[in-house]
Structure 1
Amino acid sequence: MEEAVWGSDHGWLPEVLERELAGPGDPCVVVAVEAPDGEVVCASWVRFHDGTDFASLWGGSTLAPWRGLGIYRATVAHRARLAAARGHRYLQVDATDESRPILTRLGLVAVATTTPYVWRPGRA
């Protein structure tokens, strides 16, 4: 599903999430939304950063035909409730331009921006 959404190889993702779910380290919960036929149409996860007031939201990918139906919004709200129930006061999200308006409507406030870079060893 992630590969269909992003158009790139995400073969590494299941192993990473399995490792995180098994621990050690900060706890993680994966949320998947299935269509009536069992197809996963949205997936996301939340990491609870133990010993801090922070949880972080990751994934949040929805297949194109299922966008605009409130599925992503519902997964954000669900993960926020999970974080609050564990005592985390703040959420960290690296959002795309498409997600930002939804997050804002849910009450999240942008406090900083990041610019991703790809490091290529050997280049000066």
Structure 2
Amino acid sequence: MAGSDVAGLRGGAVRAGWRRRGVYRALTAARARSALRLGEGLLHSDCSPGSRPVLERAGLVPVTTTTPHVWRRGASSRP
């Protein structure tokens, strides 16, 4: 995040045939090391349920959740 010491881990994925081999864990660790080398002191990730256990094992702590929504032009928000 510009002007802060927080780096975001965004957009990591592993093809189905390569999952459960530590690829995502290694990719995330390399990205975290890169952020630390650049002087970022904190990391954040808005992750999927599948990524969350990997990030928690790496030491990230959940502090909140997000709820995705789909907005459709012209759709009424009232029943």
TM-score of the pair, normalised by structure 2: 0.89
Q: CA RMSD in A?
A: 0.9
| 1:70 and 2:49 correspond | no
Deviations 1:13-58 (A, max 9, x none): xxxxxxxxxxxxxxxxxxxxxxxxxxxxxxxxxxxx2311111111
Moved over 4 A (4+): none
- After TM superposition, give the deviation of residue 122 of structure 1 in Å: 1.1
* Aligned equivalents of 2:8, 2:34: Cα separation in 1: 11
Give unmatched runs, 5+ long, in structure 2: none
Q: 1:97 aligns with which of 19, 41, 49?
A: 49
Higher relative contact order, chain-length normalized (CA < 8 Å, sep 6+): 2
| 1:109 and 2:77 correspond | no
Percent of aligned pairs sharing the same letter: 50
Q: Which has the higher strand share?
A: 1
Residue in 2 aligned with 1:56? 8
* Aligned equivalents of 1:54, 1:110: Cα separation in 2: 15
* Aligned equivalents of 2:10, 2:47: Cα separation in 1: 9
TM-score of the pair, normalised by structure 1: 0.58
Give the aligned length. 76
- After TM superposition, give the deviation of residue 92 of structure 1 in Å: 1.4
